Amino acid sequence: MKREDIEHLARLSRLRLTEDELSHFESELSSIMSYVGEVSSIAESEEDSAPQVGVVYNVFRKDEVTNKPNEFTADIIAEMPHTQGRMLSVKKILNTEN
Amino acid sequence: METVSELRKKFVAGEYTPTEAIEKSFSVIKEKDSDINAFLEVYEDALEQAKAATDRYIKEGDAAPALLGVPFAIKNNILIKGKKATGASKILENYTAVYDATIIKRLKAAGAIFVGATNMDEFAMGGSTENSAFGPTKNPLDTERVPGGSSGGSAAAVAMGAVPAAIGTDTGGSIRQPASFCGLVGFKPTYGAVSRYGLMAMGSSLDQAGPLTNSVADAELIHGVMAGKDEMDATTLESDSYPEVAVKEKMTFGVPRQFLSDGVDEDVLKVFNQHVAELEAAGHKIVDVDLPIFEKGLAAYYIVMPAEVSSNLARYDGIRYGFSAEGDNLLDVYEKSRAEGFGAEVKRRILLGTHVLSSGYYDAYYGKAELVRKKMRAELNEVFKTVDIILTPTAPTPAFKLGEKSDPLAMYRQDIFTVPVNLTGVPALTFPMGSVEREEKTLPIGVQYIAPHGGDSRLFAAGKAIYDAR
């Protein structure tokens, strides 16, 4: 993996990495990827591509509110880093140029 | 070492009280934990609860709930309402849980008392507890060595005698490997046996919670309290989800000799062979089994797990809770909060996961890894037609020294025998099978028993007959 690849992944991952971290991850991720690449030697047989029954199934429950009104509101608001009254405050995302 | 069952007997008989037990926990922590660092927080309110439990025993005796007054230590990625839940990460350093995890609710209902939150690798990522943002935990049996990880604090808390039982989580061996390093019993249930509601998600197709204890009977008791269907976790099983797995007195054990031929410490292998010989002498049947796909498990694991990590940890964005860095715009807040909040191993796995899930790589890595899982399950089903339990060492080495494994891949290899269990979702039990000498210190070695899906009781039965009855 090249330096640009790591920079690209960091952007996708929303991680701002230092120069030092970039060079570390460049070498570490390369060796990890070459190790996990072992899985490519496994070939898919016809049996594998056949759908399996019973392993994965959907689980549903009634779409109803199970907590009391405001049961958790104050505690959740208390965990918010930035608030205005009872609202979560975030940076402006529209017209950020003006 | 003290067991929960012994403690319970004394409580019921009135020879010893929960108040005394909690006071003892506090005094052991006070005496040893400045050096060991097993606990991130000690819950002073435990004493109050212990006094109430003491009164209850006077009134109720043996009718009191099964775990009443028993001191527990809880890994800090499990939510206890009103207590800090940090995941040993800077990003959640000041986060207070808003609700109880289902397993916490069930433990509380059974009367358990929580004496503190235990240290761990950040977000359960690591095999030594060195990845904690709050400093590493040391192994109480040799403080130059790691207790294993990621549930290293939970293992150390039991091994140093602060509590008779602790709860950990296991995504790729995080209960079993520390249990092996600290000379304890550790149990990873069948996937879906225990609710993960209120656990910090790491690899959602792999995660389970389980006990670390001094006896198999204790592990069974605690698992029994925590397990069962939960509406809040859609992956929890019904009692009839898997066909019944019979419990037998004399069993056939399968040993994957080929799998053990590479990378296992020589002394560990000697102890393992001795254990196999003892099983045979006790009248069990030992056969060789071939698990060629199982051996690819580690490679598949380090694709599937980081992929799930990268998705699960996207929620830590510096906006709704946890650490938030100052930034010029929203993206800036995200990137700086995550950069300052996460440690190196977490970042490494997020990057890896993002890579294997990205367009053009998905089929080559993630798709192949899922294929490996499918083939592993088929391979296991085949082996379990003739074998009752598969046997491996829990870890390829005894506890290693702090700072010894600086190369990530060397650390990942610790998980070679444990990750196939999570990838396939079967249950596994570890308990000490012997010990090795290292620099005049005696270090325990754990053996891993693997059963088919839903075979949790078979493992407990075997463990009680073989370990508890020793």
B150 is catalytic: yes
Domain range for A14 is 3-38
- Report residue B452 CA to chain centroid gap: 19
State residue A66's pLDDT score: 85
Selecting among B5, B128, B154, B174, the annotated active-site residue is B174
Nearest chain A residue to B320 by CA: give it: A80
Q: Which of residues 175-194 of B touch A (CB under 8 A)?
A: none
Question: What is the residue-averaged pLDDT of chain A?
Answer: 88
Beta-bridge partners for B168 = B210
* B375 interface with A at CB cutoff 8 Å: yes
* B464 interface with A at CB cutoff 8 Å: no
Q: What is the mean pLDDT of residues B80-97?
A: 98
Q: Which residues contact B389 (CB under 8 A, 6 or more apart)?
A: B251, B252, B253, B254, B449, B450, B451, B458, B459, B462
B51 is catalytic: no
Residue keyed to tokens 């993630």? B366
Please give the residue that has the higher pLDDT: either B372 or A58.
B372
CATH number for the domain including A33?
A: 1.10.20
DSSP secondary structure letters along B279-295: HHHTT-EEEE---TTGG
> Is A30 among the domain residues?
yes
Nearest chain A residue to B238 by CA: give it: A59
pLDDT band at A55 (very low <50, low <70, confident <90, very high): low
Statement: residue A92 has pLDDT above 90? no
> Is A59 among the domain residues?
no
pLDDT band at A50 (very low <50, low <70, confident <90, very high): low
- CA gap B181, B400 in Å, rounded: 9
Answer whether A52 sits within 8 Å of B95, measured CB to CB.
Answer: no
Task: Report yes or no: A26 and B351 within 8 Å, Cβ to Cβ.
Answer: no
Q: What is the pTM of this model?
A: 0.96
User: Looking at CA atoms only, how far is residue B331 from chain A in angstroms?
Assistant: 8
Q: Which residues contact B112 (CB under 8 A, 6 or more apart)?
A: B67, B68, B70, B72, B225
> Is A53 among the domain residues?
no
How many structural domains are present in chain A?
1
* B453 interface with A at CB cutoff 8 Å: no
* B339 interface with A at CB cutoff 8 Å: yes
Q: Which of A5, A35, A82 sits opposite B409 (nearest CB)?
A: A35
Statement: residue A98 has pLDDT above 60? no
pLDDT band at A12 (very low <50, low <70, confident <90, very high): very high
> Is A32 among the domain residues?
yes
State residue B357's pLDDT score: 95
> Is A71 among the domain residues?
no
pLDDT band at A21 (very low <50, low <70, confident <90, very high): very high
* CB crowding B124-162: b at 16 or more within 10 Å, else e: bbbbbbbbbbbebbbbbbbeebbbbbbbbbbbbbbbbbb
Q: Exposed, middle or buried by CB within 10 Å (0-12, 13-18, 19+), for B362?
A: middle
Task: Report yes or no: B302 and B352 within 8 Å, Cβ to Cβ.
Answer: yes
Nearest chain B residue to A82 by CA: give it: B319
Residue keyed to tokens 């006071």? B23
Q: Which 3 state secondary structure label does DSSP give B23?
A: helix
What's the complex ipTM?
0.92
* B291 interface with A at CB cutoff 8 Å: no
Q: Which 3 state secondary structure label does DSSP give B75?
A: strand
> Is A82 among the domain residues?
no
Statement: residue A95 has pLDDT above 80? no
Answer whether B409 sits within 8 Å of A80, measured CB to CB.
Answer: no
Give the lowest-confidence range in B134-138, B192-196, B359-363, B446-450: B359-363
Percent of chain B with pLDDT over 70: 100
Interval B351-402: pLDDT, tens: 999 999 998 899 899 999 999 999 999 999 999 999 999 999 999 999 999 9
Answer whether A25 sits within 8 Å of B347, measured CB to CB.
Answer: yes
Domains of chain B: residue spans and CATH: 1-252+392-470 (3.90.1300.10)
- CA gap B319, B334 in Å, rounded: 8
> Is A22 among the domain residues?
yes
> Is A15 among the domain residues?
yes
Q: Which of A10, A36, A75 sits opposite B365 (nearest CB)?
A: A36
State residue B244's pLDDT score: 92
Q: What is the mean pLDDT of residues B245-268?
A: 94
Which residues of chain B neighbour A98 with C-beta distances below 8 Å? Answer: none
Q: Which of residues 60-99 of B touch A (CB under 8 A)?
A: 95-96, 98-99
* B365 interface with A at CB cutoff 8 Å: yes
Mutate: best of B296, B298, B350, B368, partner A, most A CBs <10 A: B368
Give the lowest-confidence range in A59-68, B38-47, B64-73, B223-232: A59-68
Beta-bridge partners for B435 = B444
Residue keyed to tokens 């090249």? A2
Q: Name the strand (E) or helix (H) holding B4.
A: helix B4-13
Interval B325-346: pLDDT, tens: 999 999 999 999 999 999 999 9
Q: Which of B299, B352, B358 sits opposite A29 (nearest CB)?
A: B352
* B327 interface with A at CB cutoff 8 Å: yes
Q: Which of residues 221-260 of B touch A (CB under 8 A)?
A: 231, 234-235
